[in-house]
Amino acid sequence: MNKRIIIKTTLICFGIFMILTAGVVWGLMGKYEFDRERRYQVVVAKVPIQPGTIINEDMVGLKTIKESAYNSRMITDPAKVAGTKATAFIGQEDYIRGYELLPREKWYDENERVIVLPMEVEERLANLIKKGSYIDIKMAPKDVKSIPKRVLSKIKVEDILDENGVSLGANGANKKAFARLVLDDDQRNKIYVAREMGKLMFELYCDTTQNPPEEEFQIPEEYLGKPAERPKGQISADKLPQKAN
- For residue 169, what are the contacts with CB-CB under 8 A and spacing of at least 6? 130, 131, 160
* Closest to 144 (Cα-Cα) out of 192, 198, 196, 215: 198
Determine the Cα–Cα distance for residues 179 and 129; give it in Å rounded to an integer: 9
Q: Residue 103 CB: number of other CB atoms within 10 A? A: 11
Q: What is the pLDDT of residue 31?
A: 59
Q: What is the mean pLDDT of each run of 10 residues along the chain (245 residues)?
A: 72 80 70 73 94 92 91 91 92 92 83 89 78 93 88 94 80 74 94 93 91 93 68 44 42
Predicted TM-score (pTM) of the model is 0.60
Fold topology of 39-103: Type Iii Antifreeze Protein Isoform Hplc 12 (3.90.1210)
Q: What is the pLDDT of residue 19?
A: 84
Q: What is the pLDDT of residue 86?
A: 92
Domain residue spans in the chain? 39-103, 113-224
DSSP 187-221: HHHHHHHHHHHEEEEEEE-SSTTSPPPPP-----H
